[in-house]
Every structure is written in structure tokens, then in C-alpha cells.
Amino acid sequence: MTKVALIRHGSTKWNKEKRAQGSSDIPLDEEGERDARKLAKRLEKENWDLLYSSPLLRAKQTAGFIHEKVGLEVQFDSRLKEAGGGQIEGTTEAERIEKWGINWRMLDLGMEKPMSVVSRGKEFMDEVLKKHDGQNIIVVSHGAWISHLLRELDKENIGDEHMKNTSLSEIVFREGKWNCDRFNCTIHID
């Protein structure tokens, strides 16, 4: 059985301001660092074999705290990056409406399409199964990346719930398919 813990990075100033982050390299804020430490302490109590992370700063920092507690070297993979936000990166909803109008979502503003995110995610997960069958793997990524991927891998059990910062979602590969056994869990900070 292969188990993967999909972890969303800790909070950033832009999260609090409700700014689209996309592929912008934003650091964790103080709360994000504190919650990432709590998450790392939670993960320390379990058995893990590998640690992967998006190379974006907020994920790298979160993975760094996990590395300190769990002791695994961080392996970076660009397929774990957040969905690219194109022209909306760095903007709030109000700013987008002011700039492009209420129907801004209908415009081609260079945002990465959900199926592109899913394609990257599935390619990564297929490789994980090939290389690390039967192992326990931590993957630090981003909210949209995790949401799109989970909805694709376990369509029956995953809805549109917003992914919380430092949340942990566990998926297990058994009987030929991925099953989400834990979703968007933040007991380490609640």
C-alpha cells in the first residue's frame, strides 16, 4: 500500500489579503511558520520514507520545517507548483473586477487551466507509484494543485471545499485506485 500525505503550505501575507498567488514566490508569514512547525511535530510521530515539495518559497519553507522534525531530505519537483495565475497574480477579487469587470473569469488572462494542473499532478503521482510503491510519502504543495488533483483521483469523496493552510490530506493506493482517507485535516492547529 502506498500512502501520500498531500500538504498545503503555511499561510502567507497574500493569503490573508486574499491575493492570487499562483506561481509568485511569496514567503510564509509568522502564523504560517508557526503552523508549519506544528504540522511538522504532528508528522514526526509517524513513519515517512520520502519528502517532496514544490520549489515555490512558501512550500519550500513548510517542507523545511518538516525536514527538521522528520529528518528526510527535501526533493523538489516543479510539477508540484501552484496553478499559474497569469495576469491575476498579486490581485484581489475587487482589483480584478475593477480592472477587467465582473466577468473577468471569462477572459483569457493567462491562467493555467485546471486540466493542465491535473495532468501535472497525475504524472507526478504515476511516477510516485512506479518509484515508491509501498512507501509513505509527504508532498508539500498548494491549495489549487491539491484540490484539482484530489477531485480527479477520488471523484466520489472530494467536493469543492477550500484547502486550509497546512492542511493534511492522505490518499492511499489500494485495489488499483487512489482513495482519500483523510481530507483537509488541521487538527495540529485547531
Taking the CB of residue 73, how many other CB atoms lie within 10 A of it?
A: 8
Paired strand residues for 51: 74, 138
Q: Position of cell 498567488?
A: 21
Does the annotation list 19 as a binding residue? no
Contact in structure between 62 and 45 (CB atoms under 8 Å): no
Residue 8 known to bind ligand = yes
The verdict on whether residue 79 carries a ligand-binding annotation is no
φ and ψ at residue 63, rounded to 5 degrees: -65, -35
Q: Which residues are catalytic?
A: 9, 82
- Please check if 10 is assigned to a binding site: yes
Q: Is 58 annotated as a binding residue?
A: yes
**Cα angle for residues 56, 57, 61 (degrees, 5° grid):** 125
Known binding site for substrate: residues? 8-15, 58
Known binding site: residues? 8-15, 58
